[in-house]
Structure 1
Amino acid sequence: MSRTSKEITTDNRQEEELSNDQKELLEKYDQESRFRSFKRGMALLITVIAVAFSLYHLYTSYFSGPVTLKHRSLHVGVALVLIFLLYPAFQRLKRSKLHWYDIIFSFLALSTTVYMFVEYLGIVNRGGLPNQWDVVFATILIVLVLEAARRVTGWALPLLAILFILYGLFGRNLPGIFRHRGFDWEQLSNFLYTTTEGIYGTAIGVSATYIFLFILFGAVLSKSGMGQFFNDISLALAGHTKGGPAKVAVLASGMLGSINGAAVANVVTTGAFTIPLMKKVGYQRNFAGAVEASASVGGQILPPIMGAAAFIMAEMLGMPYSQIALAAILPALLFYIGIITQVHLRASKDGLRGIKRADLPRVKEVMKERGHLLLPLLFLMYMLFFSGRTIIFSAFLTIIVTILVAMIRKTTRMSFKDIVEALEMGARNTLGVAIACAAVGIIVGVATLTGFGLKLANGIVLLGGQSLFLTLVFTMLACIVLGMGLPSIPTYIITATMAAPALVELGIQPFVAHMFVFYFGIFANITPPVALASFAAAGISGGDPMRTGFQSMKLSIAGFIVPYMFVYSNSLLLMDTTWLEGAVVVLTSITGVVMLGAGAEGYLFKKMNVFIRIVAIGGALLFMNPSFLTDMIGFSIIAAVILFQYIGYKKETNNSEVVM
């Protein structure tokens, strides 16, 4: 390995240190990362609680646990305790000091769980007729969930939950279709606390099972050095190609993003390594930041893990996870093909080269050193797709396998301290998702109780005038606006509850409708004016945040088109299709995405004028609603553009040779 190669991998080994250097940037754009920092006694107490929290979920995943309400109540209660200990009430407060009211909040949070355990039989026997203490503890829990959500996710989610609470209490006074019979506080709070339709609903159920385990799996993988492996193998495979560092960013961020599902954190950690490399080979800083932002966000639509959202989707739809993951493969690949296309064409247009092979790690060396870390991922896919075991058991076993596999080599071997830190990290990383799911439980609970979801769906359909395309556009806008202020998982749950039914009402299959809203809720992270992933990337690249955001949208253009494509043709999701039809769909969709990227970038073999760009994009869009006629027209247009570009390129090449 050459000297420069060693330097690159050394930089890569400093990933954890670099993320500390970028801590201020991460906290600026990712509120979930704004932890308190304690020393000695309090730090030890938090470690003990967090590790016990992780061990409890590992135990229940193998041996099963208490009944549903008790299990979910314990999950929420301990998450609330950790949040009040770790997150200050206001950002101006010292991060090293714990205030008296946070201790009170922590004990109150535990009291709601203790009450659920002690009074469980009484709650069940009362059957929706609460006593005074039921209402008291329900009120305490609702207030604590709203406050914890404010601390961890910001104001948007708790304010939305408060609006829904007010709607539940006073909706009887509203005019029109959104009027309901009305509920008093006793009825509303009891429904949110003592049923599996409110705070302890499906969202928290998934958080307390699948999500916690897969976030813990990601933490264990991170401790084993998987992030470094992704960076090194991406460098070895693509670093030497045209614009190589940008392709490295796409590959590494996509793979890591699928596992951790944290777009902003992924931008800051991986981007600290990839963005400077992109700038070094000549990529403009806004473009470099946009590449990292787009690739990091796209990880959440990439199987096998999809940032844990696929598990929520499986639970809400009652579908096997494996079916969802398989259906999501082609759209996700199209998204990344679109980014890679633009990255490559930008490098060709600007004459950017890659990194010299001699200065890069070799595939053989990388695989020898850390290639065994792929074994847990392969084992996970086997367990999920072929073993017939439950997702929860598969996740538990994969975590154990990861620790054992990491022992194979000294460089990846985890000490007892590393394992404890991974358990603590897993619990900490779950807090944002857990509290968001609890707050979403309030919103979904009120919507269920009042019938708001169905009324909103009817309103969207009415606004769209029974037009599928207009309804899709309105639904897309609603998802993007909602996603600008909320984390991606609660965004998906809310839109799946309230917006997806509008699409189902127009005859779209439920899974397709859920995938549509899921995509656009995620892409809010790169859509100005509030594009947190893009803004974080701009903080690293030194670019303009808004320009980086718009450049991210341009790079992700395939992601904005593909959802419309699979709504109009389910074959893109490989549903209800033959092998031949599937092959045709793969060919046409890849061709369309490549030409869409060429049109967006304005370059194929040579620069395109505005007219050719429009024609190329138009030809690509003809594949949006697949049929034999539109496919043939699209292929004809694209073939003409390619031929025209190639002839022009050859002429320019020949002329330059004559001049020389």
Structure 2
Amino acid sequence: MNSNRRELTGFVALLMMVLAALVPISALIFGLRILPEFGLVIYKEQFLAFFLTLCLVLTFMLKPAYSGAANDRVPWYDTLLIIATLGSGGYVAFWYHELVGMMGLITQDKVIVSAIGLVVLLEAARRLAGWTMVLVGLAALSYAFFGHLLSGMFETRNIPFERLLIYNYLGTDAVLGTPLYVAATIVTAFVLFGQVLFLVGGGDAISNFSFALMGKRRGGPAKVAVFSSALFGSLSGSASANVATTGMITIPMMKRVGYKDTQSGAIEAVASTGGLVLPPVMAATGFLMAEFLGVPYSTIALAAAIPALLFYLCVYLQVDLEAGKGGISAWESNELPSMMQSAKQVIPVALSFGVLLYVLFGMMQSPENSAFAATAATVVISLVVPAMRRSIIKYLTVLASAGEAVIFIAVMCAVAGLVVGCLGLTGLGSSLSQNLVAIAGGNVWLLLLFAALGCIVLGMGVPVTATYIILVILVGPALVQVGVNELSAHMFVFYFGTLSFLTPPVCLAVFVAASIAEANPWRTALYALRFAVIAYLIPFVFVFNDSFLMQGSVTGIVHAVLAGIVGVFLLAVSLVGHWVQPVHPLLRLVALVAGLLAFWVGATSWIVLLFTLLALVALYAWQRRNRVNTAIA
């Protein structure tokens, strides 16, 4: 996200804060069904139009049109854009109940409103995320309009331009569709929870507890980065933003204790990116997945747990083994916070998360209601705990900061909805899926490779949420058609969309981390690929064995977890080349093969799992014996 932001003053600044505060307030009113209590029933699309209008107006107030534009006031052309936004969005928000009965009729007012609405949406996307998302949206519109001139699998029916505009802006399956609905309800609720948590000191509590817990271990700062970045990344929803936030602290510390600059940057980039797939929050994409699949979010969070934990286990083990290999010691204990003090500090934060998990999983409430409950609990806890208590002004202004934080994801989801609308209107989603299956000859492996490459390529420069939405429409049905479980197909697309943040040549998270570490970005990217190796492997694994997604019997799930742990240990030893002492290249190869066997075969065969476990034990015993003999000699 473009970080350039106007610094407004006076009445305009106050107006901006009020509008920003209305973003989470409107989500709260709609999510808790408050309006029907007063006899006012509105269409979902009316709320979404109001919500999107707020986000677009705030974008034009806060984000300059170009580098060097006025940074202390809203210029005349942005005022015109704001008026146009209020006109098009307000038309839908206040008169949708009259429009819905004659949506199929093409009228001049609907065409004009739709054209204006789509133009301001794409301009807002350009300011927030650059040209990439704009080009994706324009490509979708161009394909829907000119597709009838093509031939073969990409040929479409002739769609009048007026119909194209109205369908995408006013229809229920495009801009005002599921992606924006999730952003306006669930994502906004969780962003508000995160903002309130950080306001009352939750961020410092997590950071201090991470240092107290991990700092005294060898390679302590790197383990702090893994632990804290996982938690921050799950809440922030942006790998790059997470790197920029936590990396400013952890990367210099890792370099200070002895990690290479490239290693330090890679560790932070990988740990921050992994937060996007870590339950219970999983940024925004997990909520979208639940909506698309029509299942409770708790099902998605549980399914994502084993792959995410194996991912972080692999990163942690490699960090630890690198510390042993390089003789990297712990952080000086006198500079670390007290474990007792940091534990007391983190208990109120843990209570807030406890409320979130209890309402979500125990009471089986919706994700947005769970987040609102956790937010209320956090405010109550902060009023009881003196160190967390804040002034009333702070509690009110956090509404505005939450509203600002939502703008980016809301606009990106709206553009993604535009793409989904064009794909639905042209029928490309279903036809492309059938043709992909035909090209792959029904071969699941070939289709998975197509899907993985497509996710990574499309995800370069595109937010992970938008990548998931587009790819799951294009490729998801093809995977299901060849026999892949629907949940596995969605999770596969999700994982590889996320990995675009780490995969060259774009790898945004790596570039941010490398700049902080003052390291070569390409060497940093190579280290990042190695640290994140499990993230590239495990999607292929859970496609063929959904026990890794907590599907099936308890025995099968336990079997998969044990196999995953053994496989991760073997792969970490093989990749680093060190355990108790340096590992011979031939033994590294054996460990690599045994690790892959544990994942692919050991998860379904107890005999193979036992064999790989014995290989792990034998390697450790061999290393211990050689170290003792070396010490005696």
TM-score normalised to structure 1 length: 0.92
Instruction: Say which of 148, 153, 158 aligns to 1:172.
Output: 148
Q: CA deviation at 1:580?
A: 2.0
Residue by residue over 1:62-83, the C-alpha shift from the partner in whole angstroms, topping out at 9 and shown as x without a partner, is 2345311101101111111001
**2:77 maps to which residue?**
101
**1:636 maps to which residue?**
611
**1:285 maps to which residue?**
261
Q: CA deviation at 1:625?
A: 2.9
Structure 1 residues 405 and 121, CA, compared in 2 at 3 Å: closer, same or farther? same
**1:621 maps to which residue?**
596
Residue by residue over 1:527-580, the C-alpha shift from the partner in whole angstroms, topping out at 9 and shown as x without a partner, is 111111111111111111121122111101111111111101001111022x22
Query: Aligned letter for 2:587?
Result: I
Q: CA deviation at 1:347?
A: 0.5
Maintained 8 Å contact 2:226/2:267: yes
Maintained 8 Å contact 2:563/2:599: no
Instruction: Say which of 647, 654, 659 aligns to 2:622.
Output: 647
Residue 155 of structure 2 is aligned to residue 185 of structure 1: no
Matches of 1:75 and 1:256, distance apart in 2: 26
**1:273 maps to which residue?**
249
Maintained 8 Å contact 1:460/1:475: no
Q: CA deviation at 1:462?
A: 2.7
Residue 14 of structure 2 is aligned to residue 44 of structure 1: yes
Instruction: Say which of 437, 440, 445 aligns to 2:416.
Output: 440
Query: Aligned letter for 1:52?
Result: L
- Equivalenced residue count is 627
**1:515 maps to which residue?**
491
**2:365 maps to which residue?**
389
Maintained 8 Å contact 1:258/1:307: yes
Query: Aligned letter for 1:592?
Result: G
Q: CA deviation at 1:115?
A: 1.0
Maintained 8 Å contact 2:6/2:72: yes
Instruction: Say which of 416, 428, 432 aligns to 1:456.
Output: 432
Matches of 1:408 and 1:557, distance apart in 2: 45
**2:33 maps to which residue?**
63
Maintained 8 Å contact 2:566/2:616: no
Residue by residue over 1:295-352, the C-alpha shift from the partner in whole angstroms, topping out at 9 and shown as x without a partner, is 1111111111111221111111100111111111111100000000100000011111
**1:591 maps to which residue?**
566
Q: CA deviation at 1:267?
A: 0.8
Question: Any residues of structure 2 matched to 1:350-369 within 5 Å, and which?
Answer: 350-369=326-345
Residue by residue over 1:412-449, the C-alpha shift from the partner in whole angstroms, topping out at 9 and shown as x without a partner, is 21222221332111111111101101111111001001
Matches of 1:309 and 1:208, distance apart in 2: 13
Instruction: Say which of 296, 318, 326 aligns to 1:320.
Output: 296
Instruction: Say which of 135, 154, 164 aligns to 2:130.
Output: 154
Q: CA deviation at 1:648?
A: 4.5
**2:183 maps to which residue?**
207
**Any idea what SS the aligned residue of 1:36 has?**
coil
**1:77 maps to which residue?**
53
Instruction: Say which of 393, 400, 413 aligns to 1:424.
Output: 400
Q: CA deviation at 1:627?
A: 5.5
**1:582 maps to which residue?**
557
**2:38 maps to which residue?**
none
Matches of 2:612 and 2:345, distance apart in 1: 48
Residue by residue over 1:364-414, the C-alpha shift from the partner in whole angstroms, topping out at 9 and shown as x without a partner, is 211223421211110000000011333222222221111111223232212
Maintained 8 Å contact 2:420/2:470: yes
**Any idea what SS the aligned residue of 2:387 has?**
coil
**Any idea what SS the aligned residue of 2:505 has?**
coil
Residue 308 of structure 2 is aligned to residue 332 of structure 1: yes
Maintained 8 Å contact 2:206/2:346: no
**Which sits farther off after the overlay, 259-268 or 508-517?**
259-268
**1:217 maps to which residue?**
193
Structure 1 residues 573 and 370, CA, compared in 2 at 3 Å: closer, same or farther? closer
Q: CA deviation at 1:450?
A: 0.7
Question: Any residues of structure 2 matched to 1:218-617 within 5 Å, and which?
Answer: 218-577=194-553, 579-617=554-592
Residue by residue over 1:9-66, the C-alpha shift from the partner in whole angstroms, topping out at 9 and shown as x without a partner, is xxxxxxxxxxxxxxxxxxxxx42x3222222332222111111222222222223453
**1:23 maps to which residue?**
none
Q: CA deviation at 1:476?
A: 0.5
Maintained 8 Å contact 1:620/1:638: no
Matches of 2:169 and 2:630, distance apart in 1: 77
Query: Aligned letter for 2:534?
Result: A
RMSD: 1.7
Matches of 2:139 and 2:603, distance apart in 1: 49
Structure 1 residues 42 and 629, CA, compared in 2 at 3 Å: closer, same or farther? closer
Structure 1 residues 155 and 635, CA, compared in 2 at 3 Å: closer, same or farther? farther
Matches of 1:516 and 1:369, distance apart in 2: 38
**Any idea what SS the aligned residue of 1:388 has?**
coil
**Which sits farther off after the overlay, 134-143 or 366-375?**
366-375
**2:39 maps to which residue?**
none
Query: Aligned letter for 1:622?
Result: L
Maintained 8 Å contact 1:403/1:414: no
**1:6 maps to which residue?**
none
Residue 92 of structure 2 is aligned to residue 116 of structure 1: yes
Query: Aligned letter for 2:517?
Result: S
Q: CA deviation at 1:631?
A: 5.6
Matches of 1:403 and 1:182, distance apart in 2: 55
**1:129 maps to which residue?**
105
Query: Aligned letter for 2:76?
Result: W
Matches of 2:71 and 2:607, distance apart in 1: 62
Maintained 8 Å contact 1:231/1:252: yes
Q: CA deviation at 1:216?
A: 1.3
Residue by residue over 1:587-629, the C-alpha shift from the partner in whole angstroms, topping out at 9 and shown as x without a partner, is 1111101211111112222223433323212211123334678
Residue 23 of structure 2 is aligned to residue 53 of structure 1: yes
Matches of 2:79 and 2:211, distance apart in 1: 48
Matches of 2:630 and 2:593, distance apart in 1: 31
Matches of 1:593 and 1:55, distance apart in 2: 45
Maintained 8 Å contact 1:623/1:630: no
Maintained 8 Å contact 1:215/1:429: yes
Residue by residue over 1:506-528, the C-alpha shift from the partner in whole angstroms, topping out at 9 and shown as x without a partner, is 11111110000001101111111
Query: Aligned letter for 2:558?
Result: A
Structure 1 residues 369 and 457, CA, compared in 2 at 3 Å: closer, same or farther? same
User: Unaligned regions of 5+ residues in structure 1, if any?
Assistant: 1-29
Query: Aligned letter for 2:88?
Result: T
Percent of pairs identical after alignment? Answer: 35
**1:22 maps to which residue?**
none
Query: Aligned letter for 1:178?
Result: F
Maintained 8 Å contact 2:579/2:623: no
User: Unaligned regions of 5+ residues in structure 2, if any?
Assistant: 36-41
Residue by residue over 1:164-189, the C-alpha shift from the partner in whole angstroms, topping out at 9 and shown as x without a partner, is 11111111111101111120111111
Q: CA deviation at 1:269?
A: 1.2
Matches of 2:613 and 2:593, distance apart in 1: 9
**Any idea what SS the aligned residue of 1:497 has?**
helix
Q: CA deviation at 1:292?
A: 0.9
